[in-house]
């Protein structure tokens, strides 16, 4: 009585300054999980808050539509109000200057599990390819090219004109969807259980035209053609998407 399982919708900006990491057993303030658990303790739940995050995020990854769950039990059999909790979480996160925000909280069934109940996970990689008619740049392309600052650490820039062939990229991407053994596309074996099943089904790996975060407001955006690489599956191996893309 009074115990409620809450589903949290969160965003986490992972490439700016020294932001928090995804999840794991690392203590606060190193992880999103740890930060949310510290904040959850402020609600004086009768049970120790244990936050479960739907997906681990590597350093530099922005989690824009992630989710989590936590069980809280209020004294006297009373229920927590999701709206009040949302305000309390974000007030705390704002004061601590962490690049993390709770977008909403909902009461969910006891059977809900943020990790195991996931239907799919989607990764988006953004490319900015320099146009042939863009202003010429010197030999040190990475350091002399003008780039939209809003895109910095949010997009991969390809500065050498003629280096990018979208038709070849699409042809390569078409080889990945389906059920396959992705053993050679996983990260360090030391980070994965020795008996892990490396057979995974990839729903899609699409290459589609993208858009700049700022349009006409940022003149240097016109120097580039943007592309999105979208990868979707129910689950991935450790660093599988990073190795594929």
pLDDT digits (tens, 9 = 90+) for 92-151: 989 888 788 899 999 888 888 988 888 899 999 999 999 998 888 877 766 778 888 888
| 133/194 same-domain check | yes
| 135/71 same-domain check | no
Residue finishing a domain among 47, 79, 107:
107
- 151's tokens: 């895109």
- The enclosing domain of 143 has a CATH number of 3.30.70.660
Give SS3 for 52: strand
Centre a 10 Å sphere on the Cβ of residue 1 and count the other Cβ atoms it contains: 8
| 89/169 same-domain check | no
* pLDDT value at residue 20: 53
| 125/226 same-domain check | yes
CA-based angle 239:69:62, to the nearest 5?
40
Return the minimum-mean-pLDDT range out of 22-31, 53-62, 198-207, 211-220. Answer: 22-31
Report pLDDT digits (tens) over 172-202: 999 999 999 998 888 775 566 677 889 999 9
Q: How far apart are CA 15 and CA 29, in angstroms?
A: 16
Shortest CA distance to 192 belongs to which of 232, 245, 243, 229? 243
Give SS3 for 90: helix
Residue 127, strand partner residues: 156, 227
| 131/102 same-domain check | no
The DSSP secondary-structure symbol of 194 reads T
- For residue 155, what are the contacts with CB-CB under 8 A and spacing of at least 6? 126, 127, 128, 226
Quick check: is 125 in a domain? yes
Quick check: is 114 in a domain? no
Q: Is the pLDDT of residue 2 over 60?
A: no
The DSSP secondary-structure symbol of 75 reads G
Domain span including residue 16: 3-107
If one compares 167 and 63, the residue with the highest pLDDT of the two is 167
State the total domains in the chain.
Answer: 2
Report pLDDT digits (tens) over 8-51: 777 766 534 444 554 554 444 567 888 899 999 999 988 899 99
* pLDDT value at residue 151: 86
Give Dmax over CA atoms of the chain in angstroms: 70
Alpha-carbon distances of 5 from 39, 199, 226, rounded to whole Å: 16, 32, 41
Quick check: is 116 in a domain? no
Report pLDDT digits (tens) over 221-230: 888 999 999 9
* pLDDT value at residue 139: 73
Centre a 10 Å sphere on the Cβ of residue 193 and count the other Cβ atoms it contains: 8
- 29's tokens: 């303030």
* pLDDT value at residue 224: 92
Treating both helix axes as pointing N-terminal to C-terminal, what angle do 32-40 and 82-95 enclose, rounded to 10 degrees?
120
* pLDDT value at residue 240: 87
| 128/204 same-domain check | yes
Residue 107, strand partner residues: 6
* pLDDT value at residue 4: 65
| 137/216 same-domain check | yes
Band (3; pLDDT cuts 50, 70, 90): low
Residue finishing a domain among 60, 77, 107:
107
Phi-psi bin for 213: left (phi > 0), alpha (psi -120 to 50), beta? alpha
Residues marked as catalytic? 58
Quick check: is 115 in a domain? no
- The enclosing domain of 51 has a CATH number of 3.30.70.580
| 131/58 same-domain check | no
Residue 209, strand partner residues: 227
Q: How far apart are CA 172 and CA 185, in angstroms?
A: 14
| 88/143 same-domain check | no
Q: Are 35 and 68 in contact (CB under 8 A)?
A: no
For tokens 């500065």, what's the residue?
159
């Amino acid at each position: 009585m009074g115990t409620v399982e809450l589903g949290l919708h969160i965003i986490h900006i992972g490439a700016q300054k020294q932001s928090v990491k995804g999840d794991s057993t690392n203590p606060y303030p190193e992880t999103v999980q740890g930060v949310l658990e510290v904040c959850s303790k402020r609600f004086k739940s009768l049970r120790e808050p244990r936050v479960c995050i739907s997906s681990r995020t590597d350093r530099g990854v922005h989690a824009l539509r992630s989710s989590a769950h936590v069980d809280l039990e209020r004294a006297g059999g009373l229920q927590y109000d999701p709206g009040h909790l949302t305000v309390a979480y974000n007030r705390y996160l704002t004061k601590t200057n962490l690049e993390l925000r709770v977008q909403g909280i909902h009461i969910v069934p006891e059977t809900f599990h943020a990790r195991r109940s996931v239907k799919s996970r989607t990764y988006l990689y953004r490319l900015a390819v320099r146009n042939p008619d863009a202003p010429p740049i010197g030999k040190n392309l990475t350091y002399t090219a003008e780039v939209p600052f809003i895109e910095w650490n949010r997009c991969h820039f390809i500065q050498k004109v003629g280096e990018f062939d979208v038709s070849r990229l699409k042809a390569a991407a078409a080889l990945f969807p389906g059920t396959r053994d992705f053993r050679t596309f996983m990260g360090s074996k030391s980070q994965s259980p020795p008996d892990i099943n490396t057979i995974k089904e990839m729903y899609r790996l699409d290459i589609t035209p993208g858009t700049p975060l700022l349009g006409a407001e940022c003149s240097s955006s016109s120097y580039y053609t943007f592309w999105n690489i979208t990868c979707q599956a129910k689950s991935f191996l450790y660093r599988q998407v990073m190795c594929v893309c």
